[in-house]
Chain A
């Protein structure tokens, strides 16, 4: 095709209107305010500055929503995603990537550089938790704000689709309630800070002896320890049988919540090549095995009187939390949103997703059905699948899609211009319908 990339990738087709740019500038000023505080290392007048930043970002997003979605008939709104610098790995995309990555690096390893932001969030922390802010509170609050504000944007983008609206409401609810308000209130009540929606092995600490011992004396904490294990061994198989892994990954989980909201503008950047699928399978199951091994070792160490295994189990734990817990899930997982797409961690790394995926593939009613011969092989479904599943490869053969990695976000079904895909379930095992339609 006479290297059409040259002719088609018109450097800057006029896709973004003046008012959209204005909206982006307003939100940008809010973010800039946060950056200034971050760089300055201290916050002057924390409460007003915090309020101003929040209002500006929110106003910018709402303005964008009004201009891009509400002022136009409802429908699929993917115009120009491959032309915009921010969403097509252009300069703004890389800049955003570097910025978020930088934030995560500070967060995990150099919290002293976040002093300004910590001051900024102090009034909110005092109000919610009754104690001073730390870097984790800053992180949790920014995270929640992103899910909430970008969730509103996402819900308006898909306002014609009740599945998307409800799902977004759900992730915002769980993030705001279970990952921000409740842990904060628990701290205020002198209880352990519990995130009821994060279980082992996603939260690898939750299954360790350290967690168990840390909860000693707190009935709630001990309950949560066993609740988490029950969710792993019983809750996951049962719920996944009925609903597929989406009950967790795209309705409850905070990582999924961020990917579905703040990550939505980047979902098309996921890698669809076969080679990526191969890497995915190796990586994600290896990490599941690693986290199981690590946890068993830690308990074995306790059981043997913390003597002979101490030398292995502790470094193992430290290495895992550095490489997987921090570098992979945080720095790469979120920092690289604008480069690798929104679900890198969920797809390549998350051991909880691996576990859910095994059940989804082997023992679940859930599947995506395809509508007979209607597929025109256009590729919208594959392009906008954040998990990099080549949905089209199944749809054009009329095959049901049963994939361990599918998080059931329903976007493939939403963007299909020919009404080919439907997320559904039936009591037959999903695998029974992996046959082509002629």
Chain B
């Protein structure tokens, strides 16, 4: 059987690797972007000089031939679902028995005047990085539009090269549609501490050209003009499926798939950023453009293609990011605005760069989520508590088990317990401190209830 995978990102590559583990099928991976798989998440580090291109490629170049994964560099322009063929821009026709669509995302643009000017770019593909590099020499100021995860990365990139950055954020506070207010304000403060010109409640109106068709400034809704030689548009991404629209393939915002990642076309699957679940699981969104969901889908599609039919279950939501120097981790259900039925325990370090938040259900006391800034928590432990709906007091008295900070780091769990005691008038105490032996016992043997 010949399996063609369109897209060599984390989803497509994970699928290829796992199909190879499970079978002897012929595997071809097609990409227009790069010869070899690289970590998109690490683009910023290449620009900042932490790593080179070969360092962000997780596999050495010999890996593909050795595992009989054929790599093709081409742009696919159309798919003939009846004839089961792909058609590339250089007029190649590639037949398939099974097709896995893993085309990822592309940067959003909202039709701003000037958005196609020279010097205006998103940050998604390797070519965007090259464009940033081209425009960086002698750059006096960059403007980054859009206060999300990619926006703050782009701001950090320029800042690392000592290029002044103005960071335009539409919201009242950084990423406050996702982060609770305290955490969001922490990031605002940190951006200021770094000397990044953060403009909250500022929207882009238009990008102004010079006489050579390059951007020279942006104008905001309030009419202010900010002179700049580069404009970064980081206002979200959407599924990269333009060439599949208006074909027999059923799409909405993304390629529609069922729980087995099957599209409406026989033998055609879709995974990663480009997919939209017909039926999202409880508490999850239909499109989740993050690294690990792509990885999970890749593994799952391999099982399905190789005959082990399994439904997609991403488990409990988690994610992480880094806002300049502040690491961020989330496990479970943390909303920007606390829902009516939830209560929160929030502790913040006096230095204002670390915090721990636990949300729980008011009525049952069941833990709902963990939000960490500048503190590392252990995925497996948080996940187990969340899955079991452990009581907030069970979680609090054992909270040290979740701590994943390096050895000798201060442990703040007893402070979190104090916050809870203050809020509720209880006198709970912390029983478990950081340490692997306790964690292994917790994960392997004892159920949470017997720990209380």
Interface residues of A (CB under 8 A from B): 1-2, 4-5, 7-10, 13-15, 17, 72-76, 78-84, 160-163, 166, 273-274, 369, 371-374, 376-380, 382-383, 392-393, 396, 410, 413-414, 417-419, 422-428, 437
User: Using Cβ atoms and an 8 Å threshold, which residues of chain B touch A74?
Assistant: 325
B68 to chain A minimum Cβ distance, whole angstroms, is 18
User: Using Cβ atoms and an 8 Å threshold, which residues of chain A touch B53?
Assistant: 1, 4-5, 8
Question: Within the complex, which residue of B33, B35, B58, B130 is in contact with A379, where a contact is CB–CB below 8 Å?
Answer: B58
CB under 8 Å from chain A, chain B span 315-358:
318, 320-322, 324-325, 327, 329
Question: Sorted from nearest, which 6 A-B pairs have the closest CB atoms?
Answer: A372-B379, A75-B325, A419-B376, A378-B42, A162-B408, A80-B49
B161 touches A424 (CB 8 A): no
A7 touches B58 (CB 8 A): no
A382 touches B440 (CB 8 A): no
Known contacts A73-B194, A380-B51; 19 further A-B pairs (Cβ under 8 A): A1-B33, A8-B47, A10-B136, A14-B162, A73-B324, A74-B325, A80-B48, A162-B407, A372-B380, A372-B383, A374-B292, A377-B58, A379-B45, A379-B51, A410-B406, A414-B406, A418-B321, A422-B405, A424-B407
A291 to chain B minimum Cβ distance, whole angstroms, is 32
B408 touches A163 (CB 8 A): yes
Max chain B C-beta neighbours (<10 A), residue from A393, A410, A426: A426
User: Using Cβ atoms and an 8 Å threshold, which residues of chain A touch B380?
Assistant: 372, 437
Q: Given the complex of chains A and B, what is the CA–CA distance between A425 and B404 in angstroms? A: 13
Q: Given the complex of chains A and B, what is the CA–CA distance between A13 and B190 in angstroms? A: 25
B46 touches A8 (CB 8 A): yes
22 A-B residue contacts at CB 8 Å?
A1-B53, A7-B130, A7-B134, A8-B46, A73-B193, A73-B194, A79-B50, A162-B409, A163-B407, A373-B292, A374-B379, A376-B42, A377-B58, A378-B41, A378-B56, A379-B58, A383-B50, A419-B376, A419-B377, A422-B406, A426-B436, A426-B437
User: Using Cβ atoms and an 8 Å threshold, which residues of chain A touch B42?
Assistant: 376-380
A162 touches B194 (CB 8 A): no
B325 touches A161 (CB 8 A): no
Q: Given the complex of chains A and B, what is the CA–CA distance between A380 and B408 in angstroms? A: 22
Chain A CB within 8 A of B129 CB = yes
B368 to chain A minimum Cβ distance, whole angstroms, is 18
Given the contacts A372-B318, A376-B41, A82 and B58 also touching, CB distance less than 8 Å? no
B315 to chain A minimum Cβ distance, whole angstroms, is 8
User: Using Cβ atoms and an 8 Å threshold, which residues of chain A touch B325?
Assistant: 73-76, 160
Q: Given the complex of chains A and B, what is the CA–CA distance between A403 and B325 in angstroms? A: 29
B58 touches A392 (CB 8 A): yes
Q: Which residue of the partner chain A has the closest CB to B444?
A: A428
B291 touches A376 (CB 8 A): yes
A-B contact count (CB 8 A): 174
Given the contacts A162-B406, A378-B56, A418-B327, A371 and B130 also touching, CB distance less than 8 Å? no
Question: Within the complex, which residue of B51, B133, B440 is in contact with A82, where a contact is CB–CB below 8 Å?
Answer: B51
A83 touches B407 (CB 8 A): no
Category for how many chain B residues contact A: 35 or more
User: Using Cβ atoms and an 8 Å threshold, which residues of chain A touch B47?
Assistant: 8
A369 to chain B minimum Cβ distance, whole angstroms, is 7
Q: Given the complex of chains A and B, what is the CA–CA distance between A274 and B320 in angstroms? A: 30
Max chain A C-beta neighbours (<10 A), residue from B50, B163, B318, B329: B50
Q: Given the complex of chains A and B, what is the CA–CA distance between A80 and B10 in angstroms? A: 27
B130 touches A4 (CB 8 A): yes
CB under 8 Å from chain A, chain B span 51-89:
51-53, 55-58, 60
Q: Which residue of the partner chain A has the closest CB to B195?
A: A72
Question: Within the complex, which residue of B39, B133, B160 is in contact with A7, where a contact is CB–CB below 8 Å?
Answer: B133
A374 touches B318 (CB 8 A): yes
User: Using Cβ atoms and an 8 Å threshold, which residues of chain A touch B409?
Assistant: 161-163
Q: Given the complex of chains A and B, what is the CA–CA distance between A72 and B324 in angstroms? A: 12
B47 to chain A minimum Cβ distance, whole angstroms, is 8
A427 touches B126 (CB 8 A): no
User: Using Cβ atoms and an 8 Å threshold, which residues of chain A touch B446?
Assistant: none
Max chain B C-beta neighbours (<10 A), residue from A80, A83, A371, A428: A371
User: Using Cβ atoms and an 8 Å threshold, which residues of chain B touch A4?
Assistant: 53, 126, 130
Q: Which residue of the partner chain A has the closest CB to B161?
A: A13
User: Using Cβ atoms and an 8 Å threshold, which residues of chain B touch A426?
Assistant: 435-437, 439-440
B161 touches A371 (CB 8 A): no
A379 touches B404 (CB 8 A): no
Chain A CB within 8 A of B431 CB = no
Chain A CB within 8 A of B282 CB = no
CB under 8 Å from chain A, chain B span 151-176:
160-163
Q: Given the complex of chains A and B, what is the CA–CA distance between A382 and B52 in angstroms? A: 12
B339 to chain A minimum Cβ distance, whole angstroms, is 25
Q: Given the complex of chains A and B, what is the CA–CA distance between A4 and B131 in angstroms? A: 11
Q: Given the complex of chains A and B, what is the CA–CA distance between A219 and B46 in angstroms? A: 58
User: Using Cβ atoms and an 8 Å threshold, which residues of chain A touch B324?
Assistant: 73, 75
Chain A CB within 8 A of B199 CB = no
User: Using Cβ atoms and an 8 Å threshold, which residues of chain A touch B137?
Assistant: 10, 13
CB under 8 Å from chain A, chain B span 403-452:
404-410, 435-437, 439-440
Chain A CB within 8 A of B188 CB = no
Max chain A C-beta neighbours (<10 A), residue from B161, B163, B383, B407: B407
Q: Given the complex of chains A and B, what is the CA–CA distance between A273 and B56 in angstroms? A: 13
User: Using Cβ atoms and an 8 Å threshold, which residues of chain A touch B162?
Assistant: 14-15, 17
Q: Which residue of the partner chain A has the closest CB to B315?
A: A373
Given the contacts A7-B130, A8-B46, A163-B406, A424 and B39 also touching, CB distance less than 8 Å? no
